Amino acid sequence: MKIMIMDGQGGGVGRSLVEEIRVKYPDAELIAVGTNATATSNMMKGGTALGATGENAVIYNSSRVDAIVGPVGIVAANAMLGEITPKMAQAVASSNAKILLIPMNRCHVQVMGVESKKLGDYIKEAVDQL
């Protein structure tokens, strides 16, 4: 399975996802795709040798993976303080990959009916769904 982990800002959520996925699916091919170099670098420190940064990396990889995992903002244009471009959001949202989103309150998108949990619980739940 080829899994794209996407994050922005400092890449902390993405790094946690990489670490959890690496443990549960050691044979999966993971690619860290960050909206900026810091996010990509931090995710790669979590245990993946493949990483790419920026809008084109998101567009290119979204159509070449089996699953995409990241904060809910990755499908919302201008989320993460503007780091998610409309083209990035469109590429992720229109991908044929399984898309698993971590609810976050910091990206101007709130999903009604989602119970309030710790970030680690959401990450574990997403990894289990892979």
**Predicted confidence (pLDDT) per residue in 61-77, tens digit:** 999 999 999 999 999 99
Percent of the chain past pLDDT 70, that is, above it, reads: 97
* pLDDT tier at 18, thresholds 50, 70, 90: very high
Task: Check if the beta carbon of residue 16 is closer than 8 Å to that of residue 44.
Answer: no
Task: Check if the beta carbon of residue 126 is closer than 8 Å to that of residue 90.
Answer: no
Give the Cα separation of 82 and 35 in Å (integer). 10
* Residue 46 reports pLDDT greater than 90: yes
- pLDDT higher for 91 or 116? 91
Mean pLDDT confidence for 35-44:
97
Helices marked H in 46-114 — which ranges?
A: 55-62, 79-82, 86-93
Mean pLDDT confidence for 43-68:
97
Residues near 114 by beta carbon (within 8 Å), at least 6 away in sequence: 103
Task: Check if the beta carbon of residue 11 is closer than 8 Å to that of residue 39.
Answer: yes
* pLDDT tier at 110, thresholds 50, 70, 90: confident
Q: In terms of Cα–Cα distance, which of 6, 54, 9, 53 is closest to 30?
A: 6
Q: Which of 1-15, 23-37, 90-104, 105-119 has the lowest mean pLDDT?
A: 105-119
Q: Is 10 helix (H, G, I), strand (E, B) or coil?
A: coil
Mean pLDDT confidence for 15-37:
97
* Residue 22 reports pLDDT greater than 80: yes
End-to-end CA distance of the chain: 9
Give the Cα separation of 43 and 37 in Å (integer). 10
